[in-house]
Amino acid sequence: MKHVILVLSGKGGVGKSTVSVNLASALSAHGRNVGLLDLDFHGPNIPKMLSIEGQKPAVLVHRIEPVHVTGTLSVMSMAFLLPDTSTPVVWRGPMERVAIQQFLDEVNWGTLDYLVVDLPPGTGDEALSIAQLAPNVRGAVIVTTPQDVAVLDAVKSVKFIEKLEIPVIGIIENMSGMCCPTAGIS
């Protein structure tokens, strides 16, 4: 993995998974070998967004084959490992850390130019674990929406990333045209 890029935000629903899918697709469309790792264990949406929900990764002894979307884009998500779309993952933090380690070490990613990591909202275990466990973490893309409460939490994400000494390579204000003046929110 030459470049690992984290996609995170303070709030849920601001567009992290959408940005991750678009970023990974754009890089792979430029001929780069790209992995897309869905680390939102409690709401793994990447397979649905790529219409690969029904796929099951092949497990060969200690190697898990990621789902190949194209010749240059592979995906791994907890959603592939759950029996159905309504089954929740009920884990404590240490289990998640083990799963993240396995997604890095035991998935047969091949040689990747980029690994794009879609994270759950906030500055919790998953973000901390991937920042510590992944090699070559080059930077983070922070996603927010224009609402004050989303920006407030995005600032926390920036500080969290700076604390980990990871460069912030971009801040995306998503859904800029969708603010809701009738609800009195600016």
Three-state DSSP at 148 gives: helix
Amino acid at 148: D
Interacting residues with ligand ADP (CB under 6 A): 9, 12-18, 45, 174-175
16 or 97, CB closer to ligand ADP?
A: 16
72 Cβ neighbours under 8 A, 6+ residues apart: 28, 31, 32, 33, 34
Query: Cα angle at 120 between 119 and 126, to 5 degrees?
Result: 70
Residue 11 near Mg ion by CB under 5 A: no
Work out what residue 145 binds among ligand ADP, Mg ion, none; the CB cut-off runs from 5 to 8 Å by kind.
Answer: none
Choose the contact partner of 174 out of ligand ADP, Mg ion, none; CB within 5 to 8 A by kind. Answer: ligand ADP
Q: Which residues contact 30 (CB under 8 A, 6 or more apart)?
A: none
Q: 52: which 2 tokens?
A: 């690969």
- Which partner in ligand ADP, Mg ion, none is near 18 (CB below 5 to 8 A by kind)? ligand ADP
Residue 21 or 137 with smaller CB distance to ligand ADP: 21
- Least distance in angstroms from the C-beta of 111 to Mg ion: 27
Does position 18 interact with Mg ion (CB under 5 A)? The reply is no
Helix axis angle, 125-133 relative to 93-105, nearest 10°? 40
Give which of Mg ion, ligand ADP, none residue 147 binds (C-beta under 5 to 8 Å, depending on kind). Answer: none
Contact residues toward Mg ion (CB under 5 A) are 16-17, 40, 45
